[in-house]
Amino acid sequence: MDVETRDFFKDPFSEDELKKIIKMTGKKPQEMLRKRDKMYKELDFANTKRTEIQIIKLMLKYPGLILRPIVITKNKAHIGKIDVK
C-alpha cells in the first residue's frame, strides 16, 4: 500500500483542509483534541465552552492539540489509535 505522510507541524493544515478532515471523521472538533496536550490544559478546555469554529481556529494555531495519527483513505478519515481487524 502506498502511504503518503505529512508532518502538519512543518506543513500546517489550512482551515479548509482541517474542516474537511473533521467532516470525513464524522466527529465534532472537540472529539479530535488531545486532552494530554499542554495547550489543552493551558487553554482550560475542560472548563471553557467554545464554538466549533473557535476550536478549529485553536487547532490551527496550536497543532499539538490535534489528535493523531490521521489516516485518510478515499473519502474517510480515521483519527487516533486505529483498531485494524
Residue 9 in this model has a pLDDT that exceeds 90? yes
Residue 33 belongs to domain with CATH number: 3.40.30.10
At what angle are helices 52-61 and 15-25 packed, to 10 degrees? 120
pLDDT at residue 1, as a whole number: 64
Total domains in the chain come to: 1
Residue 85 in this model has a pLDDT that exceeds 60? no
Q: What are 7's three cell numbers?
A: 508532518
Q: What are 15's three cell numbers?
A: 482551515
Domain coverage including residue 44: 15-79
pLDDT at residue 83, as a whole number: 56
DSSP of 4-52: ----TTTSPPPHHHHHHHHHHHT--GGGGB-TTSHHHHHTTTTT----H
Residue 25 lies in a domain: yes
Mean pLDDT score, 17-46: 95
Residue 30 lies in a domain: yes
71 three-state secondary structure: strand
pTM reported for the whole predicted model: 0.87
Per-residue pLDDT tens for 38-83? 999 999 999 999 999 999 999 999 999 999 999 888 888 988 775 5
